[in-house]
Chain A
Amino acid sequence: EAQVTQNPRYLITVTGKKLTVTCSQNMNHEYMSWYRQDPGLGLRQIYYSMNVEVTDKGDVPEGYKVSRKEKRNFPLILESPSPNQTSLYFCASSPAGTGELFFGEGSRLTVL
């Protein structure tokens, strides 16, 4: 089954404790992206990647890191999480040039 898989789906952590949210897709898509969704603000892009070893900042990259060492994986790293990073995070992928995003089910992160 074609899918984008995120883990963990739910996480409660404390300020400053490094964490990684994994994202994996099995559709051989070139493009992958991370978004955060907050009430009243819609989806805001954090980082995106056009292909392996090619990443770029979105609208709200501060406090986040990403890497794209393999085509299928695009982990989101919070080196020192803060409460303002409490949010619902979505990973998405698409074939190059289509804009047809396939989304994961989301990861709800709470930073205390």
Chain B
Amino acid sequence: AQSVTQLGSHVSVSEGALVLLRCNYSSSVPPYLFWYVQYPNQGLQLLLKYTSAATLVKGINGFEAEFKKSETSFHLTKPSAHMSDAAEYFCAVSEPANYGGSQGNLIFGKGTKLSVKP
């Protein structure tokens, strides 16, 4: 069974500081991995996704994530935080269809709320 663990339900950084949001996954087959962002009073939107190509994935708004199989991790980073990055971030995992998974079916972590201080 797949699962996702996001370390830290709240993370606070200063504007201009490095953002690091942690995600560890569990999957019996090579997974597809995703980061979604939820701004206040909105639905979620896709930030980036990993589907077994390059291990370093670049997303929107300057975010990127690195797939590390040995650590079963997919941490999200951004070199310099901006006030507009304040939101809740969700890591998600799915199993590709060629491994018997329902490829569109995502399992989400519990989310990490990012605060950015001026």
Give the B-binding residues of A (Cβ under 8 A): 4, 30-31, 33, 35, 40-45, 48, 50, 56, 90, 92, 94, 96-101, 103-106
Contacts and interface: CB of A to CB of B under 8 A. Distances in A.
Best-surrounded residue of B51, B94, B106 (most CB of chain A within 10 A): B106
Given A41-B110, A42-B90, A42-B109, A98 B104 contact: yes
Contacts of A100: 34, 46, 49
B49 A40 contact: no
Nearest to A35: B108
A87 B41 CA distance: 14
A99 B110 contact: no
A106 B104 contact: no
Interface string B68-84: 00000000000000000
Given A99-B49, A103-B43, A105-B43, A33 B105 contact: yes
